[in-house]
Amino acid sequence: MTTRHYELSHLRALEAESIHVIREVAAEFERPVLLFSGGKDSIVMLHLAAKAFWPARVPFPVMHVDTGHNFPEVIEYRDRRVAELGVRLVVASVQASIDAGRVVEETGPRASRNQLQTVTLLDAIEEHGFDAAFGGARRDEERARAKERMFSFRDDFGQWDPKNQRPEVWSLYNGRHRRGEHIRAFPLSNWTELDVWQYIEAEAIEVPEIYFAHEREVFRRDGMWLAVTEFVTVLPDEQPERRVVRYRTVGDASCTGAVESPATSVAEIIEEVAATRITERGATRADDRASEAAMEDRKREGYF
Amino acid sequence: MELLRFATAGSVDDGKSTLIGRLLYDSKSIFEDQLSAVEDASERMGLEGTNLALLTDGLRAEREQGITIDVAYRYFATPKRKFIIADTPGHTQYTRNMVTGASTADLAVVLIDARKGVQEQSRRHAFLASLLRIPHLVLAVNKMDLVDYDEARFDEIVEEFRAFATKLDVADLTFIPISALHGDNVVTRSDRMDWFQGPSLLHHLESVHIASDRNLIDARFPVQYVIRPQTDEFHDYRGYAGRVAGGVFKPGDEVVVLPSGFGTRIAAIDGPTGPVEEAFAPMSVTIRLEDDLDVSRGDMICRPNNRPAVGQDLEAMVCWMSEAGALTPRSKYHLKHTTRWARAMVTDLHYRLDVNTLHRDEAAESLGLNEIGRVGLRATQPLFFDEYRRNRETGSFVLVDEATNNTVAAGMILGVPS
């Protein structure tokens, strides 16, 4: 018998770690919720949650913070997936927050609802009494996220205090909190973009069509290809044209850019991601380009 | 592809950020937009050249003050392995940060400046690595370019460090002379140090044998969650979900469940992709038993002839990690061990350890921030534990402040009181 036999591949080791985190949250919290955007990371997270409790159902609901600026393929995917798994879907609507006067919509051609999501998210957490919220954030995405814990404590205002994080040692997660406070749990912390795609391939997980190359009417803004939709105003000097693109991330349609790509299969995406020299956020997220600390600032306020 | 987690310890002055930057850069794990952002920032700050530390120091306060506040995690892969780096700052909060970053590490890289030799800080890092039982320790003697790639200087440092390391418990110690700045012996072997016969740092990281570091002997399964679908299809399904903390479990194995002590056999093991014939650490699985027993979260499944210690009293080394307050005898905490919470009281503070000299101060009356000492603890309910040196999963615990809910200490079990 060789010891080689007792090795786990990196994907199976990551999978085991994530499932452990998901079960810890389910065991120690009264009202967890899984934040689901329809993006590849939350899709993988939901897939792992389904595995963690199989053959029982996922013992917590799924929540979509809906900016109203959606890609129809993603909403269709969300509804189908939730029905397959038999989990409850909670939709927290940014439009409802605007209508209720909780937030004021940005104006101008570059208006985005990205920032507004934080208020909607925190309001929904309070309204439903959620004490833990799973997020699909990964540490490799962004520098502020590189310092995030698996179990990230949030105070009554949903704030993250990066200077005062709880030490997190071994796999002993401390989720103790008082009423009104909550924990964000990040089971995919140690996954990279490439790991996520390799896992999608290994598990044959379905993802929305917009991740694959398709022809779409787009225009160039801030070095990104933005889709022409009802949610954005094309400026006079911006020229819409048809290009073969795909999405590397799925977010608010008004600030998520597409990349030019011929990749039509998961295998081709893996090849592309392995060779790319630009991060997914750098390539596709206008919101992160606002400043060097854009993500940290949003996270401090309670963002995903 | 296998996953290797390693921690790096050292200060910015030792070239740690340069080393990490080089590993990431040479493995094509730094992206162009990240690099250009760092170049811009370096220029704005009026620095000479690009400060690769800015790649990891992402928080506003870190950039403003030029310090590293917390552990940063970085990722890279080669065709042989995928790596997770826990980059732990060397100066401030070193114990808290190193314990956080290194508790799950397979390997630690401690950097030494070839000009300065073995410093107090190097000894401290090496001691913490041995206390945390990181199986492999690499002493990277950096800035060899500044000592003319001198073999004698390297030998001198190796000699000095070996003398200190005899006092520690280090299973595998490797010395590598490098220049992170010029890339000597980092990714490829340097022709400027042909006197050095060992591998480059990356080659060592790619090939060091880690599979047998895990405990494959003592079967330990802390029950994390009970799965009962109560559906028509799986009406009688009752599974115990958890992560294997040691040993190997197979269907048909005779097992006992603690604390009840009832015995049964394993009927089946469900892994994430279906039934498995074997489960070993760190797999997350669901174990089904042949008999219906009363088993719940916090219980431990093990083998009848190989059980962990069971008891409420234990001896442990503790690192205190909180600015607020100090550990003193008779103080009480929440304690989390495997999947079990208890309350615990400090019955004794035997000594405080000076991490620089390893001197034991038996007159100490408290442990303050970043201090380490040996304590006796009494828990309100039995724990199922092993010595930390035998099993890092079943031998570790955390203490949590009862008022603030903050994690205030990391503990490593030495055994039961004699």
In order, the DSSP letters of A167-191 are: P--TT-------TT-EEEE-TTTT-
- Please tell me the predicted confidence (pLDDT) of residue B53: 67
- pLDDT interval class at A292 (50, 70, 90): low
Instruction: Average the pLDDT over A83-103 and give the result.
Output: 93
Fold classification of B309-415 (topology level): Elongation Factor Tu (Ef-tu); domain 3 (2.40.30)
- pLDDT interval class at B291 (50, 70, 90): very high
Sheet (strand A62-66) strand order? A89-93, A62-66, A32-35, A132-134, A182-185, A151-154
Token pair of B228 as six digits = 């009962």
Which of A169, A172, A7 shows the shortest CA–CA distance to B132?
Answer: A169
Establish if A83 touches chain B: CB-CB under 8 angstroms. no
Q: Measured between alpha carbons, how far apart are the two ends of chain B, in Å?
A: 44
Range in A61-70, B10-19, B287-296 the model is least confident about: B10-19
Residues of A in contact with B74 (CB under 8 A): 140, 146
Nearest to A166 among B214, B216, B407 (CB): B407
For testing contact with chain A, the best of B36, B296, B398 (most A CBs within 10 A): B398
Which of B4, B72, B396 shows the shortest CA–CA distance to A149?
Answer: B72
- pLDDT interval class at B223 (50, 70, 90): very high
Choice between B32 and B158, residue whose per-residue pLDDT is larger:
B158
Beta-carbon-side half-sphere exposure of residue A48 (alpha carbons within 13 Å): 33
**Stated length of chain B:** 418
Indicate yes or no: CB of B216 within 8 angstroms of CB of A3.
yes
- Please tell me the predicted confidence (pLDDT) of residue B366: 97
Indicate yes or no: CB of A20 within 8 angstroms of CB of B234.
no
Taken in order A123, A128, A131, A136, the sign of the CA dihedral is negative
Angstrom distance (rounded) from CA B405 to CA B375: 21
Range in A93-102, A250-259, B46-55, B144-153 the model is least confident about: B46-55
Choice between B54 and A187, residue whose per-residue pLDDT is larger:
A187
Question: Three-state DSSP class for B62?
Answer: helix
Taken in order B36, B40, B46, B52, the sign of the CA dihedral is negative
Q: Where in chain B is the domain with CATH 2.40.30.10?
A: 220-302, 309-415
Distances (CA, A) of B154 to B18, B147, B157: 20, 9, 5
Q: Are strands B372-385 and B340-353 parallel, antiparallel or unpaired?
A: antiparallel
Question: What ranges in A31-179 are assigned the alpha helix state H?
Answer: 40-53, 72-85, 94-99, 117-128
Beta-carbon-side half-sphere exposure of residue A210 (alpha carbons within 13 Å): 23
Instruction: Average the pLDDT over A171-200 and give the result.
Output: 96
Of the options 3.40.640.10, 3.90.280.10, 3.10.20.30, 3.40.50.300, the CATH number for the domain spanning B2-213: 3.40.50.300
Alpha-carbon Rg for chain A in angstroms: 19
Range in A58-62, A142-146, A286-290, B323-327 the model is least confident about: A286-290
User: Tens digit of pLDDT for each residue in A170-179?
Assistant: 999 999 999 9
Choice between B310 and B94, residue whose per-residue pLDDT is larger:
B310
Contact between residue B207 and residue B78 where contact means Cβ atoms under 8 Å apart: no
- pLDDT interval class at A290 (50, 70, 90): low
Query: What is this structure's pTM?
Result: 0.94
Residue A227 β-bridge partners? A218
Indicate yes or no: CB of A20 within 8 angstroms of CB of B243.
yes
Angstrom distance (rounded) from CA B384 to CA B15: 43
Residues of A in contact with B227 (CB under 8 A): 53-56
Residues near B242 by Cβ (< 8 Å), separated by ≥ 6? A23, B221, B222, B223, B224, B225, B284, B285, B286, B287, B339
- Please tell me the predicted confidence (pLDDT) of residue B255: 98
Angstrom distance (rounded) from CA A81 to CA A25: 22
Query: Rounded to the nearest 10 degrees, what angle do helices A40-53 and A72-85 cross at?
Result: 0
Instruction: Average the pLDDT over B14-26 and give the result.
Output: 84
- pLDDT interval class at A143 (50, 70, 90): confident
- Please tell me the predicted confidence (pLDDT) of residue A2: 44
Taken in order B370, A166, B331, B346, the sign of the CA dihedral is negative
Residue type for B253, please? D
Residues of A in contact with B96 (CB under 8 A): 167
Q: φ and ψ at B253, to 5 degrees?
A: -60, 140
Q: Where in chain A is the domain with CATH 3.40.50.620?
A: 3-191+293-301
CATH class of B220-302: mainly beta
Angstrom distance (rounded) from CA A183 to CA A200: 27
Angstrom distance (rounded) from CA A163 to CA B70: 8
Distances (CA, A) of B74 to A131, A194, B30, B175, B242: 29, 14, 10, 23, 27
Q: Which of A251-255, B20-24, B83-87 has the highest mean pLDDT?
A: B83-87
In Å, the largest CA–CA distance within chain B is 75
The mean pLDDT value of chain A amounts to 91
Indicate yes or no: CB of A56 within 8 angstroms of CB of B227.
yes
Choice between B41 and B409, residue whose per-residue pLDDT is larger:
B409
Q: φ and ψ at A118, to 5 degrees?
A: -60, -45
Q: Where in chain B is the domain with CATH 3.40.50.300?
A: 2-213
How close, in Å, is residue A98 to chain B by CA atoms? 30
Token pair of B229 as six digits = 């679908």
Instruction: Average the pLDDT over B329-342 and give the result.
Output: 98
User: Tens digit of pLDDT for each residue in A211-247?
Assistant: 999 999 999 988 889 999 888 889 999 999 999 999 9
User: Tens digit of pLDDT for each residue in B186-201?
Assistant: 999 999 999 999 999 9
- Return the percentage of chain B with pLDDT > 70, whole number: 95
Establish if B315 touches chain A: CB-CB under 8 angstroms. no
- Please tell me the predicted confidence (pLDDT) of residue A1: 41
Indicate yes or no: CB of A144 within 8 angstroms of CB of B397.
no
**Stated length of chain A:** 304
Angstrom distance (rounded) from CA A2 to CA B169: 27
Secondary structure string (H, E, C) spanning B175-190: EEECECCCCECCCECC
- Please tell me the predicted confidence (pLDDT) of residue A24: 98
CA dihedral A240, A277, B58, B40 (to 10 degrees): -80
Query: Rounded to the nearest 10 degrees, what angle do helices A193-202 and A10-28 cross at?
Result: 90
User: Tens digit of pLDDT for each residue in B238-270?
Assistant: 999 999 999 999 999 999 999 999 999 999 999
Residues near A256 by Cβ (< 8 Å), separated by ≥ 6? A226, A247, A249, A250, A284, A285, A286
- pLDDT interval class at B67 (50, 70, 90): low
CATH code linked to domain A3-191+293-301: 3.40.50.620
Question: Three-state DSSP class for B236?
Answer: coil
- Please tell me the predicted confidence (pLDDT) of residue B92: 58
Nearest to A147 among B1, B58, B230 (CB): B58
- Cis peptide before B275, with omega less than 30 degrees from 0? no
Position B58 pLDDT exceeds 70: no
Q: φ and ψ at A27, to 5 degrees?
A: -80, -35
Position B5 pLDDT exceeds 90: yes
Position A205 pLDDT exceeds 90: yes
Q: Buried b vs exposed e over A97-111: b needs ≥16 C-beta within 10 Å?
A: bbeeeebeeeeeeee
- pLDDT interval class at A274 (50, 70, 90): confident
Position B224 pLDDT exceeds 60: yes
Indicate yes or no: CB of A27 within 8 angstroms of CB of B2.
no
Instruction: Average the pLDDT over B6-32 and give the result.
Output: 82
Q: φ and ψ at A125, to 5 degrees?
A: -60, -40
